[in-house]
Structure 1
Amino acid sequence: MIKRLALVTAAGGTLLLLTACGGLQEAVCGGGEYPVANIGSTGSACQAEGTEPDAGWIRYPEGKVPEKVGDKWDTYWNEHILDEDGNESPAPAETN
């Protein structure tokens, strides 16, 4: 019984360590939400599924939606912006 408890404790500690050290990536938005971009800046937020983005916000282009913090598209959108028509451009230096 003590060996089993030690094994469970060690496994839990390993999972905690992996989580704390970034072994598991955090989702950009929670369940029932999707990410939206702030028009003209690198800002982002989460919008409730089934609703359109609020004024001043726009959906990310299909196939370029960030899913995890630090993933390819999360990093990309830290350096690029969208206009109100969804056109992409490099972010001005002051918005980075």
Structure 2
Amino acid sequence: MNTSRTAGLATRVRPRGLRFVAAAAASAAAVVVLTGCSGFEYREDVCASGEYPVLSVGGTGSACVSDGKQPPAGFARYPQGKVPQEVGDEWDTYWDAHTLDEDGNVIEAPAEG
């Protein structure tokens, strides 16, 4: 009788073990999908819907302004065609080293320090 009892336990444990392996495999697949290994990459918008980005004149600071409103004092609209849309995109990184002077000309940003 001990033999059949042990065999019965082994049979009961095996499905639980298979469920654990299946759950672990599903978790691993979820990690792959969520970490970007599937080709999906999350990109953050520079401004929220209903806003547009503005650049600090003479510096590299930026802000977001509600559509239909003018930029606050000390800020200007980005030049047409050079407006950052997403954090880290081509124009977002470009404006880390460039800015506008008081006349609206693109210049190299002053060194921080």
Normalized against structure 2, the TM-score is what? Answer: 0.66
Alignment gaps of 5+ in structure 2: 1-25
Question: What SS does the aligned partner of 1:94 have?
Answer: coil
Q: Report how many aligned residue pairs link the two structures.
A: 87
CA contact (8 A) 1:41 1:81 kept: yes
| Counterpart in the other structure of 2:5 | none
| Counterpart in the other structure of 1:70 | 88
Compare relative contact order (CA 8 Å, sep 6+) and give the higher one, 1 or 2.
1
**Percent of paired sites with the same residue:** 55
* Offset of residue 16 of structure 1: 3.7
| Greater C-alpha radius of gyration | 2
C-alpha RMSD over aligned residues: 2.4
| Counterpart in the other structure of 1:81 | 99
| 1:31-73: CA deviation from partner (whole Å, max 9, x where unpaired) | 0000000110000010000011011100000000000000000
Question: What SS does the aligned partner of 1:81 have?
Answer: strand
Structure whose residues are more often helix by fraction: 2
The amino acid of 1:28's aligned partner reads: V
CA contact (8 A) 1:36 1:59 kept: yes
**Do structure 1's residue 52 and structure 2's residue 53 form an aligned pair?**
no
